[in-house]
Amino acid sequence: GQQLNQSPQSMFIQEGEDVSMNCTSSSIFNTWLWYKQDPGEGPVLLIALYKAGELTSNGRLTAQFGITRKDSFLNISASIPSDVGIYFCAGQPQFQGAQKLVFGQGTRLTINP
């Protein structure tokens, strides 16, 4: 089945730094979603992208749907301690139903104060 490669797997940064992570696939996706998971909680949706080239922001977060429809990135500007957590990309493969999401392996973000 389709797989998503998310990188990096983990990041250790200083508070205030910008963060960038991405997700790639060998096949075309119709939708890209970015989620954040805090310890002991379920993933929470951050940004949804539906069109190739789409660039969407949510506060300090910005995500883009790649032109080839095979990748997406998430940027976090001026990181703060509450940004710590695991970030997941998720995508809807082309020709799959609207309920069929594939998740990346996650990027674990750690921030040194």
Partner 1 sequence: DTAVSQTPKYLVTQMGNDKSIKCEQNLGHDTMYWYKQDSKKFLKIMFSYNNKELIINETVPNRFSPKSPDKAHLNLHINSLELGDSAVYFCASSQATGVRGRSEKLFFGSGTQLSVL
Contacts of residue 48, defined as CB under 8 A and 6 or more positions apart, other chains included, come to 31, 32, 33, 34, 56
- Residue 106 engages partner 1 in binding (rule: CB under 8 A): yes
Binding-site string for partner 1 from residue 9 to residue 38, where x marks contact by CB under 8 A and - marks none:
---------------------xx-x-x-x-
Distances from the Cα of 27 to the Cαs of 43, 90, 110, in angstroms? 24, 13, 30
**Residue from 13, 28, 48, 52 in contact with partner 1 (CB under 8 A):** 48
CA dihedral 103, 22, 69, 33 (to 10 degrees): 50
Please state the closest distance from residue 78 (CB atom) to partner 1, in A. Answer: 26
Rounded Cα distance between 113 and 14, Å, is: 6
Please state the closest distance from residue 19 (CB atom) to partner 1, in A. Answer: 18
Instruction: Write out the residues near partner 1 by the rule CB under 8 A.
Output: 30-31, 33, 35, 37, 40-45, 48, 50, 86, 88, 90-92, 97-101, 103, 105-106, 108
